[in-house]
Structure 1
Amino acid sequence: MTHYVAIAEEEEGKAVGVWCPDLPGCVSAGDSLDEAMANAAEALTLWVDVALEHGQPIPAPRSLVDLKRDPAISPELSQFMVALIPLRPQLDAAQ
Structure 2
Amino acid sequence: MRTFKVFQEPAEEGGFTVTCPALPGCISEGDTREEALANIKDAIEAYLETLRRHTIPMPVIEVAFIKVEI
Relative to the length of structure 1, the TM-score reads 0.61
Give the root-mean-square deviation of aligned CA atoms.
Answer: 2.3
Q: Once the 2 structures are TM-superposed, how far is the Cα of residue 18 of structure 1 from its aligned partner?
A: 0.3
The reply on whether 1:40 has 2:35 as its aligned counterpart is no
Contact 2:19–2:40 under 8 Å retained in 1:
yes
Contact 2:10–2:16 under 8 Å retained in 1:
yes
Secondary structure in 1 matching 2:4? strand
Q: Once the 2 structures are TM-superposed, how far is the Cα of residue 15 of structure 1 from its aligned partner?
A: 2.0
Deviant stretches of 4+, over 4 Å? none
Q: For structure 1, which segment, 1-10 or 11-20, has the greater mean C-alpha deviation from structure 2 after superposition?
A: 11-20
Identical amino acids, percent of aligned pairs = 31
**Match of 1:67, as an amino acid?**
A
Structure with higher RCO (Cα < 8 A, 6+ apart)? 1
Higher helix share: 1
Alpha-carbon displacement from aligned partner over 1:55-95 (angstroms, at most 9, x marks no partner): 10113563xxx513xxxxx4xx77xxxxxxxxxxxxxxxxx
Q: Unaligned 5+ residue runs, structure 1?
A: 69-73, 79-95
How many residues in Structure 1 have an aligned counterpart in Structure 2? 68
